[in-house]
Amino acid sequence: MSQLVRISAVIDEKDQQIEKLRTELSRLRNWDAFVSEVEIKEIDNGKFAYALREPANEVESKLLYCATCFAEERKSILQMDESWADIYICFACKTELKTPSTHAKPTAQIRVRRTRWMDDYR
Ligand SMILES: [Zn+2]
C-alpha cells in the first residue's frame, strides 16, 4: 500500500469520527435545550414527572415527560391510559403512574363517555 493510500484511509477514518462526534454533539445540544425547558413536578405524593416551564399553549401545558426515561436522556411523553383516566403510562419504559382521579384533567373523552351513558337512559 502506498503511503498516499494509507494517508487517505487515515483521513477517511478521521472524517467518520468527526461526523460521529458532530452527531453526538448535536444530540447533546438538543438534550441540553430540552433540559433547560423543563422542571421536575410532583404529580402525586412521591410521584414525579417533568413538565415544560413555560408551555406555549394549552396542549403543551398538559405534557408530562417520564422521569425514568429522562434519567437516561430519553424524551418520552406520559400518556393517559384510555381505560383508567387516573393512570399515566410511558410506552418507552412501561412506567405506570397512578394518580388520584382528582389530578386527572377533565378530557373531552370523559365528557363523551358521560354523554353516551346518559343517552342510554333516555
Ligand atoms: Zn419512560
pLDDT at 107 over 60: no
95 CA → ligand 1 middle, Å: 6
> Cα of 81 to ligand 1 centre, how many Å?
14
User: Cβ of 93: how many Cβ atoms within 10 Å?
Assistant: 14
Range(s) of the domain holding residue 66:
3-120
Half-sphere exposure of 101 (CA within 13 A, CB side): 4
Helix H or strand E encompassing 29: helix 3-37
Please report which helix (H) or strand (E) contains residue 41, including its range. strand 38-44
User: Is residue 5 scored above 60 in pLDDT?
Assistant: yes
pTM for the complete prediction? 0.70
- C-alpha 37/C-alpha 47 separation (Å) is 20
Number of separate domains in the chain:
1
Q: Give the count of beta carbons closer than 10 Å to the beta carbon of residue 90.
A: 22
**How far does the centroid of ligand 1 lie from the alpha carbon of residue 91, in Å?**
7
Position 56, amino acid: A
Predicted local distance difference test score (pLDDT) of residue 86: 80
